[in-house]
Amino acid sequence: MNFEALRQVLRPNLGHVCVITALALVVIGLQAIDTAPTPSWYGNITLKQAIFSGVALAVMLMVAMPHPKVVAHASFGLGLVTLALLALLLAPGTPESIIPRINGAKRWINFPGLQFQPSEMAKIVFVLALARYLRYRENYRRMRGLIPPLVITFVPMGLILVEPDLGTSLIFLPVLFAMLLAAGAKIKHLLLIIVLGLSLMPMMYPLLKPHQKARIVSMISQVRGDTRLRNTTGFQSYKAITTAGAGEVVGYGKERAEVILRYNALPEAHNDMVFAVICARWGLIGGMMVLGLYLLLIASMLAVAGLNKDPFSRLVVVGLTTIIFTQVMVNVGMTVGLLPITGMTLPLISYGGSSLVATFVMIGLVLGAASRRPMIMSRPSFEFTTAGSS
Amino acid sequence: MFHRRLLLLLVLFACAMGVLGAQLVRLTIVQGQEHRREAEQVLSSRTLVETVRGPIIDRKGRVLAEDRPCYDIAVDYPVITGQWAYDQARRIAYRDYKSSWAKLSFDQRETLIQEYRPPFDQTLERLWSLMVEYGNIDRSELERRKQTVIKRVQTIRSDVWDRRAKRRAAEQGGPVELDQVAVKVAEEVDEHTLLPAVVDSVAYNFRKLIDELPGLHVIRAKTRQYPQRSMAVKLDRAALPTPLKSDEPVTIDVQNVGAHLIGSMRDAWAEDEQQRPFHRRGTDPDLGGYLPGDRVGLGGVEAAEEDRLRGLRGELVRRKDTGQVTRTESAPGEAVQLTIDIALQARVRAIMDPEFGLMRVQSWHGNSGMPLGTPLYGAAIVMDVDSGHVMAMVSTPVPPSRIEGEPYPDLTKDPDGPLMNKPVASVYPPGSTVKPIVYCMAAATGNIGADQAVDCEGHLLEGKPNLYRCWGWRPAQGKYLRHGPLSPQEAIARSCNIYFYTCGRNMGARTIVEQFHHWGFGKAIGLGLPEEVDGFLPQLEGGNIEGRELSLPNAIMMGIGQGPIAVPPIQVATAHAALARGGYYLTPLLIRNRAAQQDGHELGMSPHVIDNALQGMRMSANESFGTANHLTLETGREPLLNLPGVIVRGKTGTAQAPVQFKDLNENGQLDADEPIQRDGEHSWFVCHVQKPGELRASFVIVVMVEYGGSGGRVSGPVANQILHALRDEGYL
């Protein structure tokens, strides 16, 4: 046991603000999961989630202990392992017992006693690998230098896209841009790539699966106030908006919210749609409070990056922050009817062990970075001073 | 720089989350109430409780229309087509040959299926024979009903496929494959009624068999019954003109009595649902609103009094969370009482049945246009003078009744106009029937002296013998009848045109039209029936189309009820009732529930003028020179109105009618190759009948026969029989 590392981690630092904020969100999540109607055979999922939280905290501490240098050292190796696992998912002829096909998608690997999604791991490892690649370079300040980071992004992203898991694969792009931005890439380059990418988006539309197109169509019709798709492809979104809006300012309170949610049959209320449960129970105040806590979490994580001097840790924290931010945006966005429905959990609140553990792994990494005092001799990183070219 | 970038990221993230927050404010505060209502709506489940449509009764309380509970016997569509037997046989064949089924060819499978089919065909046969037996219908009738159902479902299916194909083609912008649109429509699975509205005992018989026979349904329903629709009326023939006279009464079966008046029922249209929808946005449903499949009044009183008759559904609202049930009782529709005496109505209908003889072209009619025996159609009204009640209002011919689920023939182009309720919905020039009224109008406005005589020279204008002629002045036929100087009474009795041309000329177009309006002509009379029309008169404001101007020639022609005037017969009856009432105009009443809306006004006539007009009509009926006095037959003269013991006043009308032709090119004009269907004159007869000892007439009878010819000869005998009918029904 590395007591020195543990002592460092437990010594008061900015990372603890992140942990406390995260725990507050977990507690809110437990309450919300308790409110969400679930079939009886799910069992007591609130208790399960509480146990997962304990496990996740332990994992967080374990992740926080290794020095960032060690993590940086291992990141390329981890990257290769992750790529191998992602490739394994897609390999033909794998037995169903190990790689089950659920709803037509191969996303899970069954190990004895544990089922996990390599894509959850891939998000984090991608951040580590990209941070390692970018940490001592500055060629990404030229257009051509942006190509390797794009390649590093597109390989795992493509593999996840093929699973298929569109929602997770789309997280990679904001993370890449946020990290490049933080690392000092030229904004005009980044904007150019974004504009190019956006202009290619309509061409991607025909490649979407029918159910994905249907979700986009139903979202657009929903925004337009067209009610025809409410009972078909727009059902989930309609119910989410209705139950969230029904909470009005102060919410229904627990008992009434339970009744409303049960009879409105909000799908995935404990999981992807948990934000609607929060709004139904605590109303606008609850929803705003949760959004505020996320903002606090994000801000404190960015502050950790800002106080840190180690270039690898800086970029890792920025990347992880962006992952959490993107998940919140997508999840809440789809719940309130601004984005099409895709399977994306609300980090720290949605029911589910792997999501919770993955998020606490990220917070663990942030905590690890925040716990280390800067080395005396460290050179300030990513401080390019060429005037007028930020 | 790194910190600036971090700050930029934080600002970006915060802005994005601000958007989420703003949307959340919109959902919970701006739209919060609406979402809350929708979210809570699912907590309660509604069950609708049907209501009962109100009955329609006649003036004596006899039921003319009512809802009766009944049962419909319905059968699933696959059973009707016989597909059920094939499916069952295939199922069994597959079960027995499961292992080798995949290897069999299509033909081999079909052969096997046919082998298994007979028992199922026998079951179907048993079902059909029981339906024939219990339903008391012919086998051929049952087959016809089955075919009707199949045809209807096939039409629905092809419509649905068409619509889908069009939508798909629009979506994908290219040709559409059949299997993209070939879906099963609900009607191909659902049951269809083959024996509608059966009585309890029949329903019970079927209910016992429901487990043995495939696809059988016994459905609780209700039907709108019209118990007085079909009647046998015994008519005395002793008072008929000699050629039709007989000592033997005749019994005439009349169908659909009062059908025009009472109306019928139809399924709700999209328009009904739009006008008063059941589901309302943002609030509870309107229990009186329309849902698909609701029954709605079609025409006549059923449509006029839809709101009153319809009633309100009830509902059971069950709170799913608490189990609490709130019950809103249904409110049955109100009863609607008519002023009609259905027995009198049936009697008048029978009199106007061509079978009785008066409504066929007869030798004494002098009708040159149509061969003897041609059926004649028209309208008749009996109105109570004191109350303005419409006691009978008949329109012929009567259309066939509607049978649920059966196609109804398109009668809109029928030249006899069976769909029209002619007393209120068809317009005719009133002709000479308005002459007593025109006299009153002219006298009241000072355009003719109350006792002024007018000299009839045969034509109105000196030196123009072919313009504005009297009816007996026909130089072309060598007839030169001159009435000479006539008092108003005599002018009415002889129906002299010159007198009333003079009235019209003296009044001028504007005054005569104003006066017609005053007497209720040219605007819907307010019975409340949806079919009512205004009729035509020249407009006082805003100009007129050619031929209908406010000109002196038109004023002259309107003096004899011709020219730019065409009105429904009910307006003639109402005006004459006002005359008989002594110059008080009262809107007529058909639906007693609307009595409060009945409206009247003084016409401003001096009693002396009214007396003169009525005296003229009395002379017309009672003096030998009167046009309403006698019928000239080959066997000699016979009195036209022969009911003893009453005082009668009469007025004939023979009004030039527009040529009716088949408008092949639909340009509204008669072209060379278009056949003429009807030509000649509409025949009118108005009769006031007064009981002895009373001060004024009790009833006004108006008869109008389309293209019948002479008023006295054609409509007169019909009016006479209606007088007898009033006596037979105890009114005289």
Q: For B291-317, write each residue's pLDDT tens digit.
A: 877 889 999 999 999 999 998 888 888
Whether B579 contacts B436, CB under 8 Å: yes
Q: Does A185 touch chain B (CB under 8 A)?
A: no
Q: Is the dihedral of CA B431, B433, B439, B442 positive or negative?
A: negative
Are the Cβ atoms of B39 and A264 closer than 8 angstroms?
yes
pLDDT digits (tens, 9 = 90+) for B172-214: 666 777 777 777 888 888 889 898 888 888 889 898 888 888 8
Task: Round to whole Å and give the CA distance between B586 and B588.
Answer: 6
Does residue B411 register a pLDDT over 90? no
Secondary structure letter of residue A140 according to DSSP: G
Tokens of B646: 């009453």
CA distance A347 to A359: 6
A314 CB near a chain B CB, below 8 Å? yes
The answer to whether the Cβ–Cβ distance between B23 and A337 falls below 8 Å is yes
Q: Render pLDDT for B353-385 as a digit per residue (tens, 0 to 9).
A: 999 999 999 999 988 778 899 999 999 999 999
- What proportion of chain B, given as a percentage, has pLDDT over 90? 57
Nearest CA of chain B to the CA of A317: how many Å?
11
What per-residue confidence (pLDDT) applies to B687? 96
What distance in Å separates residue B1's CA from the closest CA in chain A?
A: 5
- Tokens read off for B563: 């020219």
Residue B670 pLDDT greater than 70, yes or no: yes
Q: Is B63 helix (H, G, I), strand (E, B) or coil?
A: strand
Q: What distance in Å separates residue A384's CA from the closest CA in chain B?
A: 7
Whole-number Å distance between alpha carbons of A196 and A189: 11
Distance to chain A for B172, nearest Cα, Å? 13
The predicted-structure confidence for B53-110, as pLDDT tens digits, reads as follows 999 999 999 999 999 888 889 999 999 999 999 999 999 998 888 888 888 888 888 9
Checking if the pLDDT of B162 tops 50, the result is: yes
For residues B596-601, average pLDDT: 90
- Listed by number, the residues of chain A in 21-60 with a beta carbon closer than 8 Å to a beta carbon of chain B are none
Chain A to chain B, count of Cβ pairs less than 8 Å apart? 125
Name residues whose C-beta falls within 8 Å of residue A164's C-beta, 6 or more positions apart in sequence: A105, A209
Backbone angles phi, psi at B235, to 5 degrees: -115, 135
- Chain B residue with minimal CA distance to A324? B13
Structure-derived torsion over alpha carbons of residues A134, A138, A142, A147, reported in degrees to the nearest 10: -20
- Distance (Å) of CA B252 to CA A347, A356, B246, B375, B498: 88, 91, 15, 16, 43
Q: Which residue of A has its CA nearest to B40?
A: A260
What does the pLDDT average to over B246-264? Answer: 92
User: Alpha carbon A389 to chain centroid distance?
Assistant: 31
Closest Cα in chain A, distance from residue B51 (Å): 30
Whether chain B has a CB inside 8 Å of the CB on A248: the answer is yes
Largest CA distance in chain A: 65
Interface of A with B in 331-390 (CB under 8 A): 332-333, 336-338, 380-385, 390
Q: Is the pLDDT of residue B630 over 80?
A: yes
Which tokens go with B171? 């979506």
Residues A252/A286, Cβ–Cβ less than 8 Å = no
Environment class of residue B133 by beta-carbon count within 10 Å: exposed (0-12), middle (13-18) or buried (19+)?
A: exposed
Check CB contact under 8 Å for B35 and A284. no
Residues in chain A closer than 8 A to B32 (CB atoms) = 245-249
pLDDT at A113: 65
Chain B residue with minimum CA distance to A322: B13
Rounded to whole angstroms, the Cα distance separating A12 from B277 reads 67
Q: How far is A31 from chain B (nearest CA, A)?
A: 20
Residues comprising chain A, all counted: 390
- Chain B: nearest CA to A112, how far in angstroms? 40
Average pLDDT over residues B637-651: 94
Nearest to A338 among B6, B23, B39 (CB): B23
Which of A206-210, B37-41, B518-522 has maximum average pLDDT? B518-522
B170 touching A, CB under 8 A?
A: no
B676 token code pair: 């003429």
Residue type, B673: D
Helix (H) or strand (E) holding B440: helix B435-444
pLDDT at B47: 82
pLDDT for residue B716 is more than 50: yes
Cα B529 from chain centre: 8
Whether the CB of A284 is below 8 Å from some CB of chain B: the reply is yes
The answer to whether the peptide bond before residue A164 is cis (omega within 30 degrees of 0) is yes
Q: What are phi and psi of B415, to 5 degrees?
A: -65, -20
Residue B587 phi/psi, 5-degree rounding, is -65, 140
Q: Which of A14, A41, A263 is nearest to B318 (CA)?
A: A263
Q: Using CB atoms, pick whichever of A287, A318, A329 lies closest to residue B24.
A: A287
* Residues within 8 A of A (CB atoms), B 43-72 only: 43
Of the partner residues A263, A380, A383, the one whose CB lies closest to the CB of residue B321: A263
Q: Which residues of A touch B38 (CB under 8 A)?
A: 242, 246
Predicted confidence at residue A389, as pLDDT, reads: 43
* Contact at CB, B28 and A279, closer than 8 angstroms: yes
Going residue by residue through chain A (390 aa), what tens digit of pLDDT does each one get? 577 888 888 888 889 999 999 999 999 999 999 998 887 788 888 999 999 999 999 999 999 988 888 888 898 999 999 999 888 888 887 777 788 777 677 788 887 767 778 888 899 999 999 999 888 887 778 888 888 888 888 888 888 888 878 888 888 989 999 998 888 888 888 888 888 878 877 777 777 777 777 777 777 777 777 666 676 677 888 889 999 999 889 989 888 888 888 888 888 888 889 999 999 999 999 999 999 999 999 999 999 998 888 889 999 999 999 999 999 999 999 999 888 888 788 999 999 888 899 999 999 999 999 988 766 555 667 776 654 444
3-class secondary-structure state, position A295: helix
- Following CA atoms B622, B626, B632, B637 in sequence, which dihedral angle do they give, to the nearest 10 degrees? 30
Q: How far apart are CA B443 and CA B507, in angstroms?
A: 10
B671-to-B456, B666, B692 alpha-carbon distances in Å: 38, 10, 55
The nearest CA of chain B is from the CA of A256 a distance in Å of 10
Q: How far is CA B695 from CA B437, B581, B611, B644, B648, in A?
A: 20, 10, 12, 18, 13
Contact B13 A284 (CB under 8 A): no
**Angstrom distance (rounded) from CA B81 to CA B214:** 13
* Least confident segment among A161-175, A352-366, B477-491, B493-507: A161-175
Mean pLDDT, chain B, integer? 90
Q: Give the per-residue pLDDT at A228.
A: 66
The answer to whether A325 faces chain B, any CB pair under 8 Å, is yes
Of the candidates A291, A380, A390, which has its C-beta nearest B17's C-beta?
A291
CA distance B363 to B378: 19
pLDDT of residue A18: 93
**Dist CA B214 CA B569 (whole Å):** 56
Contacts of B595 (CB under 8 A, 6+ apart): B589
Q: Mean of the pLDDT values across residues B4-29?
A: 93
